[in-house]
């Protein structure tokens, strides 16, 4: 990549700062950031002196970055991304892609017109162990997938103590367990067994203080011929995630908390560990950044394409509709 190309991080709250830190760590581009909050902007500028700071989005765009990483609250993702795309700027957009479908097709059209790489930042697509498990399944090693089951949970107040003051407190800003956490699980599942076609869901606010959005969710899905079910909460003590795919000739499992995948083919046998990864705090985000830069250069498609991000957004919205309407939904 040419030295004069730069990456602009838009919004440097928790996830935006992580993206900025990880792009700086790989030494392939010059990084800058845009932040409208003056206190936060000053803090990040002092913490990352190598990154140029902008106080408004228009000024940042006029500096002509090669790419922008959109890390604002979800309702702003599409408007900001569209403004950048119209200037020919490649895009990495944080999840969820949005909180509604407005203008996503306009963004798609602009991406085609401008020949842009646009990726949605579902970071588990950068997980080497999950990727290896997916390849094994797609190779036919265990036969055709029949069922997929996800069971996930963590203590949100421990990991995100400021959740009451963030987007999380309101569905309209991308909050609640469905748009915040379950969307990662759905995106992983769709990557492995294909898109969700039908679903029904239930959810409730069970525990988290200071908010009323759902913190516990159950979803039943159909991925074509594959049956799926997902359970997630944001208040249990253990930080654990299990994604199990039952196939014709064996069962495979990805354990997010152990960064490993396992398989079992003999009903009288035991789980066999195929591979595991020892990951540092930023490893997945650095891998995601590297992959995005490669996609900008045309070396491969984005890890999670805009079309795939739109599909997961449709699922998010149908889950929320099912919760509210108490009925099956077609995606």
pTM above 0.75?
yes
Packing angle of the helix pair 77-85, 104-114 (nearest 10 deg)? 20
User: Which tokens is 326 given?
Assistant: 């108490």
Q: How far apart are CA 150 and CA 241, in angstroms?
A: 7
CA distance 101 to 317: 9
Q: Which domains does the chain have, with CATH numbers?
A: 6-124+286-304 (3.40.50.720), 125-279+312-330 (3.30.360.10)
Helix, coil or strand: residue 265: coil
> How much is the pLDDT for 2?
45
Return the bridge partners of 247, or none.
145, 250
Report CA torsion sign: 137, 143, 145, 148: negative
pLDDT at site 5:
81
**DSSP one-letter string for 162-224:** TGGGSGGG-GGGT-HHIIIIIHHHHHHHHHHH----EEEEEEE--S-TT--S--EEEEEEEET
For residues 248 and 143, give the distance between their C-alpha atoms in angstroms, rounded to a whole number. 5
Taking the mean position of all CA atoms in its chain, how far away is CA 283?
Answer: 15
Q: Residue 58: enclosing H or E segment and its boundaries?
A: helix 57-62
DSSP-derived secondary structure letter, 50: T
End-to-end CA distance of the chain: 39
The four Cα atoms 133, 229, 309, 170 give a dihedral, to 10 degrees, of: -130
- Give per-10-residue mean pLDDT for the chain (331 aa): 77 97 93 97 97 96 97 97 98 98 97 97 98 98 98 96 94 97 98 98 97 98 98 98 98 97 97 93 96 96 98 98 98 98
Instruction: Assign residue 305 a region (left: φ > 0; alpha: ψ between -120 and 50; beta: otherwise).
Output: beta
Query: What is residue 170's three-state secondary structure?
Result: coil
- Omega within 30 of 0 (cis) for the link into 232: no
């Amino acid at each position: 990549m040419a030295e004069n190309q730069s990456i602009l991080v838009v919004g440097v709250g928790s996830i935006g700062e992580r993206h900025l830190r990880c792009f700086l760590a790989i030494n392939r581009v010059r990084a800058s950031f845009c932040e409208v909050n003056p206190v936060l902007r000053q803090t990040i500028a002092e913490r990352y002196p190598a990154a140029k700071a902008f106080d408004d989005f228009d000024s940042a765009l006029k500096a002509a970055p090669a790419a922008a990483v959109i890390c604002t609250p979800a309702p702003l993702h599409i408007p900001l991304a569209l403004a950048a795309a119209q200037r020919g700027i490649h895009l990495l957009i944080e999840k969820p892609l949005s909180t509604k479908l407005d203008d996503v097709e306009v963004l798609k059209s602009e991406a085609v017109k401008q020949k842009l790489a646009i990726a949605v930042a579902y970071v588990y697509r950068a997980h080497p162990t999950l990727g290896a498990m997916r390849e094994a399944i797609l190779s036919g090693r265990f036969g055709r997938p029949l069922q997929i089951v996800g069971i996930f949970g963590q203590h949100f107040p421990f990991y995100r103590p400021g959740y009451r003051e963030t987007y999380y407190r309101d569905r309209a800003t991308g909050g609640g367990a469905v748009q915040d956490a379950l969307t990662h699980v759905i995106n992983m599942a769709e990557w492995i067994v294909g898109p969700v076609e039908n679903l029904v869901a239930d959810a409730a606010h069970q525990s988290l203080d200071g908010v009323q959005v759902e913190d516990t969710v159950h979803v039943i899905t159909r991925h074509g011929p594959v049956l799926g079910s997902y359970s997630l909460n944001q208040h249990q003590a253990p930080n654990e995630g299990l994604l199990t795919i039952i196939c014709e000739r064996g069962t495979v499992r990805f354990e997010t908390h152990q960064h490993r995948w396992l398989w079992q083919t003999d009903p009288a046998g035991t789980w066999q560990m195929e591979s595991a990864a020892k990951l540092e705090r930023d490893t997945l985000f650095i891998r995601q950044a590297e992959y995005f830069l490669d996609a900008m250069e045309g070396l491969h498609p984005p890890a999670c394409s805009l079309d795939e991000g739109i599909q997961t957004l449709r699922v998010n919205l149908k889950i929320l509709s099912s919760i509210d309407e108490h009925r099956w939904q077609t995606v």
